Chains A and B, each alone.
Chain A
Amino acid sequence: MSSTPQLANLAVSETGFVFDPSTGATFTVNATGLVVLRALRDGASLTRIVEQLSEGFAEASRSARDEVLDFVQLLRGHGLLGADFEVTS
């Protein structure tokens, strides 16, 4: 899997406030979203991202895998990931 320059350039704060310097757009993500976003930026695999969620959040659901994929789709929708971006298993 490869990250995208767009994702790498994001300014992400501890509070989950995200600023895209190339478009001026701002977003907020919750605590789990923050983990996923950072993991994607680091090039983590889907399996590793799910592991991180399970380690960090006791209530991580069994459907975490699908939720991460939904989140990736959301990032694509906002132009933060390229249309051709695929997270590896």
Chain B
Amino acid sequence: MSARRAAPRVVAVTGMNATDNPAPGVGVLRSLREGAQPGERHVGLAYDALDPGIYARELVEDVFLLPYPSSSLDVYLERLAYVHERVGLDVIIPTLDAELPAFIAAEPKLRAMGIGTFLPTREQLDLRSKANLGDLGRRAGLDVPAAAVVTSVQELARVHERIAYPFWVKGVFYGAKLVTCLDEAISAFHKVVAQWGVPVIVQASVAGEELNVIGLGDGEGGLWGAVPMKKLMITDKGKGWAGITIRDPALLAVAERFVQVTRWRGPFEVEVIRDRAGRYQLLEINPRLPAWVHLATAAGVNLPRAIAALATGGKPAPVRDYQVGTMFVRISIDQIASLEDLERIVTAGEIRRGEPADSRPLAATEARTEVHAA
């Protein structure tokens, strides 16, 4: 195993998509930029040549395309080994639900290569899955809306006997549709199955205020840091387009209880509804940073930097204070991209934008350029 450095120099981040349903990668990179040491490099790991984060030159020096982890873990690992050979990765911060099982499975091999991660175990990952949320709620003493796991239209047709309309039809990873009748439920069921497969989760709709908490568990039952947020504007896809940090000790207690019971290791996002009686109903726990991660950084809690430090054996002191009233409003801009970048990512599957002075020799980059030019 390679020796670990307490201060990572090359940090890779996945989730470079940044459309109206953005992945967290760009927010994570913006957070990593804050407080970065001289010579530190940030690498984007993307799945599509037009992922907007690829072209954010101020955020990433290098970008590599990856195959989908669902295709083959061996092929996925081979590609990561290639990236490592090219740029010498110290840390990878995966940000997408669908790739977490692969990264968790690959964690020992990555560690042997000298690449640090800070992820939950597979057991922890399964504990908070939508299908197991009810059990987790019982264990942690947290309220969870009534839910059912269904795998067929026949089961779906009878679920209203237990859960009254309207209810949510949710995919195992992403996607949620509020339905008011069986026709809508069947349509939503087929859409979810086509995209994410079975099982499908049916969850009771609870009236109230939707609140979110971003946090980081230290793996020993402690909370490294957490910031609660209220969405101020929601898109038609149900994604927060504006939000503000709030002071809510009871909501933070929900996050504390979650990490205490599961001994959660890594980042997470808790989604709750504060119902009219003031109770917190646990809707979902996402096992990763959310796209609004940079809001927490702006409020004083830089979780990506803490993850990078923890992944390389560092012990950053927990940060519990944050600025209440810090606000974000997302913006859509026409990012001007370089045609040369597009050419490189399409033809070579990678972009390298120069080496810092104290990094590896340029030979590898030059060799690749020659091959590409040929």
Interface residues of A (CB under 8 A from B): 9, 11, 19, 21-25
B321 on interface, CB distance cutoff 8 Å: no
Q: For residue B243, which residues in chain A have a CB less than 8 angstroms away from its CB?
A: 24
Tell me, in angstroms, the Cα distance from A21 to B326 when the chains sit together.
10
Q: Are A22 and B247 in contact (CB under 8 A)?
A: yes
Q: 9 other contacts beyond A22-B246, A23-B209, with CB at 8 A cut-off? A: A9-B247, A11-B325, A19-B325, A21-B247, A21-B325, A24-B230, A24-B232, A24-B244, A24-B245
Tell me, in angstroms, the Cα distance from A24 to B209 when the chains sit together.
11
Give the interface residue-count category, chain B: 10 to 19
> How far does the Cβ of B288 sit from chain A's closest Cβ, in whole Å?
23
> How far does the Cβ of B212 sit from chain A's closest Cβ, in whole Å?
11
> How far does the Cβ of B329 sit from chain A's closest Cβ, in whole Å?
13
B324 on interface, CB distance cutoff 8 Å: yes
Q: For residue B248, which residues in chain A have a CB less than 8 angstroms away from its CB?
A: 22
Closest-by-CB residue of A relative to B229 is: A24
Closest-by-CB residue of A relative to B250 is: A22
Most chain-A Cβ atoms within 10 A of its Cβ — which of B209, B243, B324?
A: B324
Q: For residue A25, which residues in chain B have a CB less than 8 angstroms away from its CB?
A: 230
Q: For residue B230, which residues in chain A have a CB less than 8 angstroms away from its CB?
A: 23-25
Closest-by-CB residue of A relative to B324 is: A21
Q: For residue A22, which residues in chain B have a CB less than 8 angstroms away from its CB?
A: 246-248
Closest-by-CB residue of B relative to A11 is: B325
Most chain-B Cβ atoms within 10 A of its Cβ — which of A9, A11, A23, A25?
A: A23
Considering only residues 240-283 of chain B, those with a C-beta below 8 Å from chain A are: 243-248
> How far does the Cβ of A79 sit from chain B's closest Cβ, in whole Å?
10
Closest-by-CB residue of A relative to B209 is: A23
Q: For residue A19, which residues in chain B have a CB less than 8 angstroms away from its CB?
A: 325
Tell me, in angstroms, the Cα distance from A43 to B214 when the chains sit together.
37
> How far does the Cβ of A24 sit from chain B's closest Cβ, in whole Å?
3
Q: For residue B232, which residues in chain A have a CB less than 8 angstroms away from its CB?
A: 24
Closest-by-CB residue of A relative to B243 is: A24
Most chain-B Cβ atoms within 10 A of its Cβ — which of A9, A19, A24?
A: A24
Q: For residue A9, which residues in chain B have a CB less than 8 angstroms away from its CB?
A: 247
Tell me, in angstroms, the Cα distance from A25 to B325 when the chains sit together.
10
Closest-by-CB residue of B relative to A9 is: B247
> How far does the Cβ of B207 sit from chain A's closest Cβ, in whole Å?
15
